[in-house]
Amino acid sequence: MAVYIHQLKKWPKFRWDKQQVTTKLIEVSYLQGRLMGKVALLGFDLKGEANLETLIFDVVQTSEIEGEVLNPELVRSSIATKLGLEHSGVQHTDRHIDGVVAMMIDATQTTNKTLSDERLYGWHAALFPTGRSGLYTIETGRWRSGAMQVVSGGMGRETVHYEAPDAALLAQEMQSFIEWFNTTTEINSILKAGIAHLWFVTIHPFDDGNGRIARAIMDMQLSIADGVNQRFYSVSGQINNDKKNYYHILEQTQKGDLDITDWMLWFLSCVKKALESSSTVIDKVIRKHQFWVKNGGQVSNDRQRKMMNNLLDNFDGNLTTSKWAKMTKSSQDTALRDITELVNKGILVKANQGGRSTHYVLGGG
């Protein structure tokens, strides 16, 4: 029978190779400082836009790790509504998306960076507004009352990867974790984010949603490390890119001996890659801003403005007259007039000729 780290006598006294971890942390801290310096130059509006883009990506990615594919436009609308920002007008009616968004905003966009039973219960209830996970009824807004195993494989061929602490131990386990999270200051904040993620997901206090909540806690702690109540890089995105190793390193660490060096190095690598790729979001926001400074006065109606924003964001497929008409709820003739006007101004360019295959891309303006 496997022995897990939470069953060890010295749990949860984690240890790690300070030299290896510090070497990696120095690299991460340098990139963190460089990003925060770049963000500081953006100005209020562009910071808000970069924060919005990062939150959208983060919400989509943390759910995708669990096999849930969310509509980015519904996520955008939900976040923009909750933050009081302008958005493209997409109506969001998905309570599940609203729940994930509410959790992420509460974790990262507020000044209160402390945890409590009630706050975590609220996050969990928001994730499962119907009290169901798929086909199954689950306990929401409270610690689980039953056993918890992480299992893979079909019926009769199950492999147990991990077994969490007994339900009777959860109140004490979570009290210890929350007290550590709220009071420990001698550990570097970035390292603390990695430890918090591992510690929470090892306790696995809920029936479902533990991974998403662990990553929200991680992001909360990283926002403390960054010194801002906004997000400009997505560690969940990097975890999703390396999902196979994510589950492997978790399993190995949870069956280990409280030496979490390998987990910490893997986590720091994810943070490093996230910081390195953050320039993509920042550059996109700057390009969008520059586009509107240059072309804002030439866009003559709300349909055109909506479609230009769609093209400047992550537009799916090619822009055709039919797609324009459908997305703006207008006629084909109106769509063609809108497009032709923008083509004549150089804002759009016809990408190719030939009947139905004709589509348009952003021009030099």
Q: Model confidence over 52-66: pLDDT tens digits?
A: 989 999 999 999 999
Does the residue 294 lie in any domain? no
Judge if 118 and 265 occupy the same domain.
yes
Last residue within a domain, chosen from 261, 287, 313: 287
pLDDT at 197 over 70: yes
Instruction: Decide which of 359 and 8 is more confident.
Output: 8
Range of the domain at 264: 5-287
Point out the domain boundary residue: 229, 256, 287. 287
**Assigned token pair, 48:** 């808000």
Q: Which two tokens stand for residue 353?
A: 């000729």
Question: How many helices and strands in the chain, by DSSP H and E?
Answer: 14, 6
Which tops the pLDDT comparison, 235 or 71?
235
pLDDT average, residue stretch 212-234: 96
Instruction: Give the model's confidence band at 108: pLDDT under 50 very low, under 70 low, under 90 confident, else very high.
Output: very high
Give me the mean pLDDT over the 151-180 stretch: 91
In angstroms, what CA-CA distances link 200 with 125, 159, 193, 194, 208? 17, 22, 11, 10, 13
Q: Is the dihedral of CA 98, 102, 103, 104 positive or negative?
A: positive
Asked whether 233 and 35 are in contact (CB, 8 A), the reply is yes
Position 90 scores a pLDDT of 57
What is the reported pLDDT for 176? Answer: 98
Q: What is the mean pLDDT of the chain?
A: 91
- On whether both 237 and 267 belong to a single domain, the answer is yes
Q: pLDDT, tens digit, for every residue of 258-281?
A: 999 999 999 999 999 999 999 888
Which residues, listed in sequence order, are joined to residue 159 by a DSSP beta bridge? 152
Residue 250 inside a domain? The answer is yes
Give the pTM: 0.84
Give the count of alpha carbons within 13 A of 118, CB side only: 0
Check whether 136 has a pLDDT greater than 80. yes
72-76, 111-115, 238-242, 268-272: range with lowest mean pLDDT = 72-76
CA distance 270 to 239: 7
Element (H, E) at 254: helix 243-254
Domain shared by 221 and 336, yes or no:
no
Residue 294 identity: K
Q: Does the structure show a pLDDT above 90 at 352?
A: no
Range with lowest mean pLDDT among 5-9, 22-26, 156-160: 156-160
% of the chain residues with pLDDT over 90 = 70
Separation between Cα atoms, residue 202 and residue 262, nearest integer Å = 16
pLDDT at 324 over 70: yes
Name, of 141-155, 176-190, 333-347, the range with top average pLDDT.
176-190
CA 363/CA 351 separation, integer angstroms = 10
Both 278 and 310 in one domain: the answer is: no
- Among candidate residues 229, 262, 287, the one where a domain is terminated: 287
Residue 106's pLDDT band, with cuts at 50, 70 and 90, is: very high
If asked whether residues 40 and 65 sit together in one domain, one would say: yes
* Domain CATH code at residue 240: 1.10.3290.10
| pLDDT at residue 87 greater than cutoff 70 | no
d(CA 22, CA 13): 19
